[in-house]
Chain A
Amino acid sequence: MTSLPAYIARRLILLIFVLLGVSLLIFAITTLIPIEIRAMLYVRNVQHTSPQQLIEIAKKRGLDRPIHEQFFAWLSEVLQGNLGFSKFSQQPVADAILERWPYTFEIVLFAAPLIIFIGIFLGVQAAIHKDGLIDHACRVLSIIGWSLPSFWLGLLLLSVFSGYLHWVSPGPLDTNLLQFRNNPSSGFIRYTKIDLFDGLLNGRPDITLNVIQHAILPVIVIVTINVALLIRVMRSSMLEALNKPYTVAARAKGLDDKTVIYKHARRNALIPVVTLSGMLVAGLLGGLVITETVFGFGGLGQWAANAALQLDVPAVLGYALLSAFLFVIANLIVDILYAYIDPRIRLV
């Protein structure tokens, strides 16, 4: 049995290799794009540049060099903390990511706990009432939620609640509040860059409430679509735990149903759910491309989608690195959590 620090160190080394692989893969994909198009990133006015000029620029920037040379040039920049310049958002990639990330975070902050709690709760209920009404209802509803295209559900909610009932406007904030926030003379200080917290810190709870109001629809979409998997895994893991000898022993000892279910069975059944939740949160933080696009939330996912459509290579590379990083880190955290939840698990 290896010690925990040694295990973490080994996983961190593995993390570097996965990140290298991810960037190499994405880099290889971007080299499929013709160099004239990639050269456009370095031109201010594309209409006034001839194809010959574009090829010259491409040569000057080294876009015609062999792929491994280009890759190492990019990599050495990244290691110095420079992710490159995103032409379409007119700012360095790292700045663009930092600026968009709070919007994604606001949605995930509400969506992730909801998914996890609803998933665990309904999964346990379905397992206790196996083949009963609750079980069947959970199952049918979660399969339906899982089958809905997120953009369609988003469009439906947007048209009903924004277009018809006028409850909330699209975007992360109401326009007047957005203007107020961005106006330097208004005295609004962006301590955390996350409007949800900045509203409270500046003594403007109306901004915080407005953020919550705007986040409701995207959160509904994300929860509806993602909760199914968690319910499913929780249910089957709970069913398995309820049939284990220790549950039978606990019952034989004369413990009441509640203690057996919540203290003995559910605790052990949580392990696969922890893994899944880790992956889920990492995936959500990595951007909600479709949901953010539909609701115009301006988060990471929407930014990445636009960057990809504009063939903004540095932006796409930076984004891919970030989401892979989140994924691997989440994996690591989950594995370490395991060891605490269940000491029987050996770290190998």
Chain B
Amino acid sequence: MDLSAKWKELKVSWQPRIKEWKFMLKRIRESPLALIGIAIIIGFVIIACLAPVLAPPQAGWDPFMLRPDKDLAILTPDPTPPTTRHIFGTTAEKFDIYYGCIWGTINAFRVGLIVVAIALVIGVVLGTVAAYYGGLIDEILMRFTDIIIALPGLVLAMALVIAFPTAIPLNITLIILVVSAVLSIYFAAFKPQRKYLLPNQIILLISLFLYLTNPIVIGLNMSKLDKVLISLAIVGWPGYARLIRGEVLRVKNEDYVEAAKASGCSDLRIIIKHILPNTVYPLLIVVTLDIGSIVLTAAALSFLGIGADPNFADWGNIISMSRTWISSPELLVRHYYTFLIPGIFISLFVLGWNLLGDALRDILDPMIRRR
């Protein structure tokens, strides 16, 4: 087959998908709320990209670490109101709030995207496995999600953040051992994969030998922010697992999946090629909405003083410094600038994602979309 024929075939096979995306883009263009949401998100992307220009960090200093303005430090223990030098003012520690807001944008994207990515991978894998194989695996996984969902997310995240040690000894040989043991059971149980069984068992034996004689252990050092990310992902994955499970159960018995099975496709191929693409739209909605809510939870953790390090450029962190004035609200009024502006940043960021997610739900929901 020559190249142009192949191209044509590709074009034909992609036609329905391209049509679908075009339809979706058209609906987004017609929805003012989606456009506002996108505009807000793009605005924050621009701020994040231009951070080194908007708020140049000091040379030889980690740009994400806030540093006190030494000239102000001697004057008074109070925060400084906005001046031309610090246009949003400073916190009580003399951290420049403008600098913190700008670099906090990058941090917000980092928290939202990384947590959603980790939770999504865990949720998709476990949700698909539970729905596709059913039975005992399904029962165990779903009862486990019940347990996590029964706990208030913020409380579970708090417990995890506090309890996580700063250095986790990671035994690589043990991990390889466990993974290959699980894989060999899988390969033994399903005929088409038998050919992988022998190499896998060689790996299993080598890792068992290494584990018993001299295991390779690396110390994984985690910053406080890493702990927050991992905790939020642990809290977040059951939602995705349930969603994916429901979607897979819905399409599992469709004719095209049966046809793929009959034509000898492997389980993995059926899941990736035929089942997962059907779950993209509901996932897209939930992911968009979740980025906002995760940033809110992370900010709440920072506000309680258990989020990122206290001098880390994080919106919640800057606001948490006003916790000291809660019992005397007059001081809260006097130092309004320490929480007002970072709060506007958080609210707008979350609003952007929520507007987009809410509009996407209308656009992508097959029940109401083509009316």
Contacts and interface: CB of A to CB of B under 8 A. Distances in A.
Contact of B152 (A159, A169, A239, A287): A287
A246 interface: no
A147 B150 contact: no
Given A22-B150, A146-B354, A149-B296, A32 B164 contact: yes
A156 B143 CA distance: 41
Interface stretch (A92-100, A119-127, A288-296): A288-296
A273 interface: no
B163 A289 contact: no
B355 A18 contact: no
B93 interface: no
Contacts of A155: 319, 322, 326, 332, 339, 343
B301 to A, nearest CB: 10
Given A152-B339, A290-B154, A319-B155, A159 B300 contact: no
A149 B300 contact: yes
B330 to A, nearest CB: 5
Interface string A291-321: 0011110000000110011010000100110
B299 interface: yes
A225 to B, nearest CB: 9
Nearest to B346: A149
Which of under 10, 10 to 19, 20 to 34, or 35 or more describes the interface residues of B? 35 or more
Interface string B304-348: 111000000000100100110011011111001001100100110
Contacts of A149: 296, 299-300, 303, 316, 319, 343, 346-347, 350
Report whether over half of chain B's contact residues are helix, strand or loop; otherwise say mixed: helix
B97 to A, nearest CB: 14
A304 B155 contact: yes
A340 interface: no
Contact of B155 (A21, A139, A156, A308): A308
A328 interface: yes
A148 B349 CA distance: 10
B351 A147 contact: yes
B347 A309 contact: no
A290 B300 contact: yes
Given A155-B322, A155-B339, A25 B327 contact: no
A323 B151 contact: yes
Given A32-B163, A158-B332, A290 B303 contact: yes
B117 to A, nearest CB: 22
**Which residue of B144, B155, B296, B316 has the most chain A CB atoms within 10 A of its CB atom?**
B155
Interface in B139-161: 143-144, 146-148, 150-152, 154-156, 158-160
B358 interface: yes
Contact of A170 (B146, B155, B327, B339): B327
B208 interface: no
Interface in A13-30: 17-18, 21-22, 25-26, 29-30
B87 to A, nearest CB: 20
B292 interface: yes
Given A18-B147, A25-B148, A163-B329, A156 B159 contact: no
Contacts of A311: 162
A9 B160 CA distance: 33
B183 interface: no
Which of under 10, 10 to 19, 20 to 34, or 35 or more describes the interface residues of A? 35 or more
A347 interface: no
B106 interface: no
Contacts of A239: 368
Given A149-B347, A150-B300, A139 B143 contact: no
A121 to B, nearest CB: 20
Contacts of B165: 32-34
Contacts of B305: 309
Given A21-B143, A146-B354, A316-B159, A152 B319 contact: yes
Interface in A322-338: 323-324, 327-328
A286 interface: yes
Contacts of A319: 155
Contacts of A148: 347, 350
A323 B152 contact: yes
A239 B316 CA distance: 38
Given A152-B347, A155-B339, A147 B332 contact: no
Contacts of B292: 147
B30 to A, nearest CB: 12
A305 B316 CA distance: 16
B270 interface: no
A18 B343 contact: no
Given A149-B347, A155-B339, A327 B150 contact: yes
B33 interface: yes
Nearest to A239: B368
B143 A17 contact: yes
B68 to A, nearest CB: 23
Given A143-B33, A289-B304, A309-B306, 19 more contacts: A21-B143, A21-B146, A29-B163, A32-B163, A33-B165, A149-B316, A149-B347, A151-B319, A152-B346, A155-B339, A164-B333, A169-B329, A296-B326, A296-B327, A305-B304, A319-B155, A320-B155, A320-B156, A327-B150
19 contacts: A17-B143, A22-B150, A25-B151, A32-B163, A143-B358, A149-B303, A149-B346, A151-B300, A151-B303, A151-B319, A152-B343, A155-B343, A158-B326, A239-B368, A289-B158, A293-B304, A320-B159, A327-B150, A328-B150
Interface of B: 33, 143-144, 146-148, 150-152, 154-156, 158-160, 162-165, 292, 296, 299-300, 303-306, 316, 319, 322-323, 326-327, 329-333, 336, 339-340, 343, 346-347, 350-351, 354-355, 358, 368
Interface of A: 17-18, 21-22, 25-26, 29-30, 32-34, 139-140, 143-144, 146-152, 155-156, 158-160, 162-164, 169-170, 239, 283, 286-287, 289-290, 293-296, 304-305, 308-309, 311, 316, 319-320, 323-324, 327-328
